[in-house]
Amino acid sequence: MSDLYLKLVSTPVGKSAAQTLGLPAPVPLRRLKRTDEPFIEGDVLIGAANGAKAIATLGRILGASAASLHHATGPQTLSDSASAGNKARALTLPPENDRRFSALVFDATGIRTPDELRAVYDFFHPTIRNLAGNGRVLVIGLDQASCRKAPHAAAQQALEGFVRAVGKEIGKKGATANLIRMVNGADEQLESSVRFFLSPRSAYVDGQVVRIAKSASAPATNPVAPLSGKVALVTGASRGIGAAIAQTLARDGAKVIGLDIPAALDDLQTVTDSLGGKALACDITDENAPAQIADFAEEHFGGLDIVVHNAGITRDKTLGNMPEHFWDMTIAVNLSAEEHIDETLLERGLLKENGRIVCISSISGIAGNFGQTNYSTAKAGVIGYVESMARQLKNGVTINAIAPGFIETQMTAAMPMTIREAGRRMNSLSQGGQPVDVAEAIAWYCSPASGGITGNVVRVCGQSLIGR
Ligand code: NAI
């Protein structure tokens, strides 16, 4: 469904009317146009608090990009910025001119005490106004597991508040702020996430925190077809977010099995035929569904590399009015079915080494939603499932969740107009996301280079005001 208000305020007259009336004036988000476009261009400023652990890696990743790289000099708290390598030219803070930065990237991994948080201020205070429209703020911090002492843990946790508050200040430019918290020594795993968060692929991912652990494998991938040779199963692939996931994984080189209920087979086939994939008509709540899926994957491809549990339903009613079949069906489709499918695939050894499982939760599962006790319960359960499975999975298999906010699909088009309009605007970017925004985040999780990312729940919500 199209957002007429966003179209209107994107015209000069509409923009000025919105400003005069004090209404939100969302900036159209820049999304990927071509898979071979550079992940970042323009001027990028990089800085590091003293004791930084990832600055050399960041300098290497950004030094190899199409961006023009600068490192911050001036304040004593930022002397390690110079370790960004010889591709980064020194830039004295406050900025020497009115240069517009497409990204401000800060390595905060060296911060060990609340006093040292001053380095964050020293870097961002003189530069944040110079962030371009659709720009990126990216902070690298340390995961809690790497902070033994309380002041260290406090200082590193503080970065979450900083990034979320910055996100709210820069959202009106269509710009985003995110935090990567890496385990000590996991800097070799940073590349896929740095590329994702700085690129237009993460246009609607804002105010998020992702944890990166060490992983045995971080293979170099072909940036244009990182999933070539992989086989992906996408449930609920006939339309909406599922169709976008299937298209995006196929774009990245994967062979796709699209699955949907038998009644949606025609639409499903249209999607999979256009991708050279295979269609599987199956109700995931059927008792035989796990075996049917396993047999299909084994017969056609000898197994799976990627499983995306996207199929979902809502059956809204306030709790006192909710018939039991609304409850049962919502839990079955959104939660139990994925557990049963994974169990069978794992038991039969059909999920290959370094496999990827991605589940779809929802903001509703984080914050709870009026009239959605069944759906919120199921989607919160998805988070518990992912966190527990992440501790159990072996052979390099990862599992993560995406929690979409308001995404423009048939599901949200069916909402009453006032609720729909509120859902669209109540986020830092003042607009709904597109199915491709969810799909791009899934493609990032699924990359062979994302082996260090497991047990995460990342929201694709434009930094919704609802929930954490
Ligand atoms: P949609 O309703 O457009 O698509 C869902 C697909 O799942 C449909 O093709 C449907 O036929 C399929 N499906 C439903 N029950 C099935 C079953 N028993 N077996 C096999 N397939 C089944 O929904 P949309 O918006 O594309 O959502 C996709 C996922 O994202 C869902 O899990 C949803 O809960 C989640 N989500 C969506 C949000 C949004 O704003 N659209 C927000 C938060 C989460």
Residue 417 has pLDDT above 90, yes or no: no
Residue 132 lies in a domain: yes
Query: 390 CB contacts (<8 Å, ≥6 apart)?
Result: 398, 399, 400, 454, 455
Test site for ligand 1: of 3, 269, 310, 427, most ligand atoms within 8 A of the Cβ:
310
Are residues 187 and 237 both part of a single domain? no
Residue 222 lies in a domain: no
Domains identified in the chain, total number = 2
Atom index in ligand 1 nearest the CA of residue 289 equals: 19
Are residues 198 and 241 both part of a single domain? no
Catalytic residue among 5, 121, 204, 375: 375
Are residues 104 and 241 both part of a single domain? no
Are residues 327 and 445 both part of a single domain? yes
Closest residue to atom 37 of ligand 1, CA basis:
404
Residue 467 lies in a domain: no
State the pLDDT at residue 422: 86
Distances (CA, A) of 279 to 264, 282, 290, 430: 10, 10, 16, 36
The yes-or-no answer on residue 375 being catalytic is yes
State the pLDDT at residue 19: 66
| Domain, as residue range, for 72 | 21-212
The pLDDT confidence band at residue 279, using thresholds 50, 70 and 90, is very high
User: Cα of 16 to ligand 1 centre, how many Å?
Assistant: 37
The pLDDT confidence band at residue 220, using thresholds 50, 70 and 90, is confident
Residue 383 lies in a domain: yes
Q: Which of 166, 183, 212 is the last residue in one of the domains?
A: 212
Q: Which of 177, 212, 247 is the last residue in one of the domains?
A: 212
Structure confidence by residue, pLDDT tens digits, 333-369: 999 999 999 999 999 999 999 999 999 999 999 999 9
Look over the chain and give the mean of its residue pLDDT values, rounded to a whole number. Answer: 94
Structure confidence by residue, pLDDT tens digits, 65-113: 999 999 999 999 999 999 999 999 999 998 777 899 999 999 999 999 9
Atom index in ligand 1 nearest the CA of residue 423 equals: 40
Are residues 269 and 349 both part of a single domain? yes
User: Cα of 162 to ligand 1 centre, how many Å?
Assistant: 34
Residue 341 lies in a domain: yes
Residue 217 lies in a domain: no
Test site for ligand 1: of 257, 329, 411, 421, most ligand atoms within 8 A of the Cβ:
411
Ligand 1 proximal residues by C-beta, below 6 Å: 235-236, 238-242, 260-261, 264, 283-285, 310-313, 333, 360, 362, 404, 406-407, 409-412
- The pTM of this model reads 0.95
State the pLDDT at residue 4: 73
Q: What is the CATH number of the domain that holds 325?
A: 3.40.50.720
Residue 215 has pLDDT above 90, yes or no: no
State the pLDDT at residue 224: 86
Nearest 5°: phi and psi at 57? -65, -45
Identify the weakest region by mean pLDDT among 4-8, 142-146, 183-187, 199-203.
4-8
Give the dihedral sign, CA 242/247/253/258: positive
Q: Which of 153, 185, 212 is the last residue in one of the domains?
A: 212
Are residues 278 and 147 both part of a single domain? no
Identify the weakest region by mean pLDDT among 253-262, 372-381, 408-417, 427-436.
408-417
Are residues 206 and 278 both part of a single domain? no
Are residues 367 and 417 both part of a single domain? yes
Contact at 8 Å (CB) between 335 and 288?
Answer: no
Residue 2 lies in a domain: no
Query: 225 CB contacts (<8 Å, ≥6 apart)?
Result: 35, 252, 253
State the pLDDT at residue 16: 67
Residue 426 lies in a domain: yes
